[in-house]
């Protein structure tokens, strides 16, 4: 399985994430933009994802744990996701209102394999550090492992 690389330089509000997948870029774009597919891979394995709404303008979803506790996230899509331009969106955990990140995801295909590169920037280094401290790194690694498993089935 490919390694997920997460970089968060000290003193910077940026987080970069990259991972290679054994799938074409078009399939990855679908997995990032079709809510029924997103719900199958986004988030830690221990949580269930429920999509509240998802359309061309934005989204809201909840991760639910075994005891029924919910963690809600929302954001706005900017532009039309495409293989050429990637995906641009905002991301906000409703438990930390106002700590909004802007994220760009790109899909780079070569010989049937695709590298997904994501760059996220928040308003402050402190906000970025709080996101990392919340367990985000575990959630990303779990999500990308689940995404690889989903891609193998599609």
Query: Domain residues of the chain, as ranges?
Result: 5-44+79-153
Three-state SS for 67? coil
The mean pLDDT of the chain is 95
The architecture that CATH gives domain 5-44+79-153 is 2-Layer Sandwich (3.30)
Sign of the C-alpha dihedral computed for residues 2, 8, 9 and 10 taken in this order: negative
Report the predicted TM-score, pTM, of the whole model to 2 decimal places: 0.94
Give residue 1's pLDDT: 61
Taking alpha carbons only, the member of 18, 17, 12, 52 closest to residue 35 is 52
- pLDDT < 70 positions in the chain: 1
How much is the pLDDT for 149?
97
Q: What is the pLDDT of residue 123?
A: 87
Q: What is the pLDDT of residue 130?
A: 86
Report pLDDT digits (tens) over 41-54. 999 999 999 999 99
- CA dist list (Å): 81 to 29, 43, 87, 113: 8, 21, 5, 19
């Amino acid at each position: 399985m490919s390694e997920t690389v997460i970089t968060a330089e000290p003193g910077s509000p940026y987080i970069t994430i990259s991972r290679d997948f054994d799938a074409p870029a078009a399939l990855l774009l679908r997995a990032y933009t079709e809510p029924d597919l997103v719900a199958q891979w986004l988030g830690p394995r221990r949580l269930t994802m429920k999509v509240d709404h998802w359309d061309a303008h934005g989204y809201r979803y909840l991760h639910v744990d075994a005891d029924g506790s919910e963690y809600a996230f929302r954001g706005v899509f900017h532009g039309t996701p495409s293989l050429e331009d990637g995906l641009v969106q905002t991301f906000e955990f409703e438990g930390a209102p106002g700590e909004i990140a802007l994220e760009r995801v790109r899909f780079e295909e070569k010989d049937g394999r695709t590298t997904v590169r994501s760059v996220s920037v928040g308003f402050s280094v402190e906000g970025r550090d709080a996101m990392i401290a919340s367990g985000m790194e575990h959630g990303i690694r779990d999500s990308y492992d689940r995404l690889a498993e989903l891609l193998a089935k599609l």
